[in-house]
Structure 1
Amino acid sequence: MWFSVFVAAVVSLSPAGSAAVCPCAREELCQPVQHEHELEVFVFDVGGKKWKSYDWSKVTTVAAFGTYDAELMCYAHSKGARFVLKGDVPLSDVVDDAKRAAWIKEKVNLAKTQFMDGINLDIEQAVEQSSPEYYALTALVKETTDVFHKEIPGSQVSFDVAWSPKCIDKRCYDYTAIANSCDLLFVMSYDEQSQIWGDCIAMANAPFSQTLAAYDQYVGMKIDPKKLVMGVPWYGYDYTCLSLSQEGICTIPKVPFRGAPCSDASGKQKPYRTMMKQVNTSISGRLWDEIQLAPYYNYKDKDGKLHQVWYDDPESIALKAAYVGQQGLRGIGMWNGNLLDYSDDPVAKKQSADMWNALIPNQQKISVIAS
């Protein structure tokens, strides 16, 4: 089954007309995907073959953050899903007009030879407002979009932004201009404790109210909601507690980040599949925070140290997905598609299916919270 779209290699023409070898069984699978879906479900894939277990009835775009996989390209195209490059470039190259143009040319040529459908720009570097890097980054997005749209008709250019436009992690970008220049902003609505300015305690990776308030900020900047894709985390943070109060507050070691005295770097990221194996044997079981609207649990390690783990699960994700539908955002996605347990274990199968299903907006969920 999996190789039905990946059997023969035929000579095809890339969108620019240069000869390239199509690795798919059917030559049309090497053509750019141009169909637009009503709801964008954006998946980051980090390599390997876990993509074979994705819920392809939902996937619309796959961003290849692992090694290029021609089999994945063919299969994604057979399902009408785009397959896009990762775009990461040092700011020192971005400010140089010639280097910037060369980088864009290199990436569009790579996309064409690999029969890909666009690029996801993942920069995430600190930029001061009105600095040379500030204007160069905006130019990069516009120029990349212009070249990709010209060279690969129907291609998609997306740009990854922090969970809020308020200079999070010193990323002071021209968000409005960038949004106007590209097709999508993928809002990374996670790692929201990357800069902790208050009490140094364990908290949710993506608290509900804080997450949604940031979309009001983006829309308040005159950014079209139809350009916003909500990113949700398929991982959590495991914090070692210096102390755990009777009220369940876990005080964590101070690890500074980009000016803040404390950050989630005090914890360790954990895949969803790992947490699901641990939560039922923890000392607390799954707990639910009614303020942050997120699950967590406590456990003791082999040395007797207390830990608190915050994560997202189908309940917390479904609440956010409902907002996507209610507010008419372009879609939803996750970091990353490989973090679920895709084994044949019946419990794991249901857990993974529930996570995929939570991505589809159910607007009744948000009305329950609003009331």
Structure 2
Amino acid sequence: MCKYKKIAIREMEKFVQVLLFFLLFVQGWCLIAESRFKSPNGDCPCSAPALCNVIKTPPRKEVFAFWLGGPHWMKYDWTKLTTVVMFGHYDADLMCYAHSQGVRVTLLGDFPVANLTSIADRSAWVMAQVDRAIKGHMDGINLDIEYPLNASQAKYLTTLVGETTKAFHISIPGSQVTFDVAWSPNCTDGRCYDYKGLADACDFLFVMSYDEQSQIYGDCIAMANSPYNKTATGVEGYLKLGIPANQLVLGVPWYGYNYNCTNLDNKDAATKVIHQVWYDDPVSLTTRYKYAQQMKLRGVGMWNADSLDYSDDPKAEKLTKAMWDAIGKYFLP
């Protein structure tokens, strides 16, 4: 009798999931139909209605950028980009211009992990994200969920990602669903996720190969944000899980750290404090881009594209151009 009840409950959960996804499917197509059958220009904010269409391309080499708001996107090198994540902001002009360049624009998704076990909460959240994407004429969603989870909780995260991907692919054909992961799969910062399951559940993973000092619990010692050997070890950890290389995008830092040094005699004449500044430049980043190319990864990306100096200062313009140009090393044969 007890065994029968357990099976019945499990089957009921599956039935509820199927029912909720059916409702999601209906809602998604209703939203699409509503947007398509408005006036010729509809609610499209672009100069040409076609610019509101979803970017549909077969899998391609990725250059994945995060935009944090503001006007700097106008000075990006759009010949290098394939996807821009609108990180907490929305700009219709950016969307229109990105689409004119064949670049996807995706929204940011973050889910309250305390609600992961609730089928109803997950489904409601997924429907809300699909609605946001359709109304914003966006090409998908980047899931940035960075919370500590144990193995028993992590299975529900994998379920959420799979539900999100299924809903987006059904409601917005050609859309892209991605998930941000730490630089290493070894329970980094308590994120004991099923990384192979996550890779299978979405289009690809964005590996955040930066802030690699976050796992140092002793004294904070000035060192590289993203040491090459740690970056490579992290990527290879994902590959050892059976995740295909073409489902990994290598994210690199476009920022650095300013450390106040102690116990040194020489001090800055003005502040009387010694500083060490650690950051990546076009030379150090080129080694990462070449590594991604050699390992046949899906692509490269950066956190974040707004970190550069986009002023009209000649020195700044030269360095900013060099940072963008370095990405080209990933595309070399």
Return the TM-score normalized by structure 2.
0.85
Q: Who is 2:168 aligned against? A: 148
CA distance in 2, matches of 1:75, 1:182: 26
Please state whether the residue corresponding to 1:355 is helix, strand or coil.
Answer: helix
- 2:194 equivalent in structure 1: 174
Deviations 1:298-341 (A, max 9, x none): x7384312121111110110000001111110000101111111
Whole-Å separation in 1 of the counterparts to 2:332 and 2:110: 39
Of 50, 54, 58, 2:80 maps to 58
Decide which of 128, 148, 153 is 2:150's aligned counterpart. 128
2:292 aligned to 320, 324, 329, which one?
Answer: 324
2:257 alignment partner in structure 1: 237
SS at match of 2:214: coil
Q: Which amino acid aligns with 1:139?
A: T
- Note the C-alpha offset of 1:32: 0.3
Report the equivalent of 2:110.
Answer: 88
Select which of 2, 9, 16 maps to 2:32. 16
Q: After TM superposition, where is structure 1 displaced by more than 6 Å over at least 4 residues in a row?
A: none
- Looking at structure 1, the residues matched to 315 and 215 of structure 2 have their Cα atoms a distance apart, in angstroms, of 36
- The amino acid across from 1:351 in the alignment is L
Residues 174/362 of structure 1: CA separation in 2 closer, same or farther (3 Å cut) = closer
Q: 1:330 to 1:362 in 2, by over 3 A?
A: closer
Kept in 2: contact 1:44–1:65 (CA 8 A) = yes
In structure 2, the residue matched to 1:158 is 178
Q: What is the Cα deviation at residue 15 of structure 1?
A: 6.9
Tell me, yes or no, if the aligned pair for 2:252 and 2:303 is still in contact at 8 Å: yes
Structure in which a larger fraction of residues adopt helix: 2
Is residue 2:244 matched to residue 1:219? no
Provide the residue aligned with 2:320 in structure 1.
Answer: 352
**Aligned mates of 1:86, 1:139 — CA distance in 2:** 18
CA offset at residue 362 of structure 1? 5.5
Q: Of the candidates 185, 191, 198, which is equivalent to residue 211 of structure 2?
A: 191
CA distance in 1, matches of 2:59, 2:317: 26
Check whether the contact 2:84–2:104 (CA below 8 A) recurs between aligned residues: yes
Query: Which residue of 52, 56, 60 maps to 1:34?
Result: 56
Q: Secondary structure at the match of 2:63?
A: strand
Residue in 2 aligned with 1:75? 97
Q: Aligned pair in 2 of structure 1 residues 166, 244: CA closer, same or farther (>3 Å)? A: farther
Distance (whole Å) between structure 1 residues aligned to residue 286 and residue 31 of structure 2: 39
Aligned residues: 299
Q: CA deviation at 1:244?
A: 4.4
CA RMSD of aligned residues (A): 2.1
Looking at structure 1, the residues matched to 44 and 330 of structure 2 have their Cα atoms a distance apart, in angstroms, of: 40
CA separation of 1:363 and 1:335: change in aligned 2, threshold 3 A? closer
Q: Is the 8 A contact 1:85 1:120 kept in 2?
A: yes
Residue-by-residue CA offset, 1:340-364 (whole Å, 9 max, x unaligned): 1111222111100110111223599
Retained in 2: the 8 A contact 1:23–1:70?
Answer: yes
- Percent identity, please: 51
Match in the other structure for 1:4: none
- CA gap of 1:244–1:217, structure 2 versus 1, over 3 A, is farther
Q: TM-score, normalised by structure 1?
A: 0.77
* Greater mean alpha carbon deviation, residues 300-309 or residues 22-31: 300-309
Structure 2: unaligned runs, 5 residues or longer: 1-28, 36-41
* Secondary structure of the corresponding residue to residue 306 of structure 2: coil
How far the C-alpha of 1:115 sits from its partner, in A, is 0.4
Whether the 8 Å CA contact 1:301–1:307 is kept in 2: the answer is no
> Amino acid of the residue matched to residue 158 of structure 1?
T
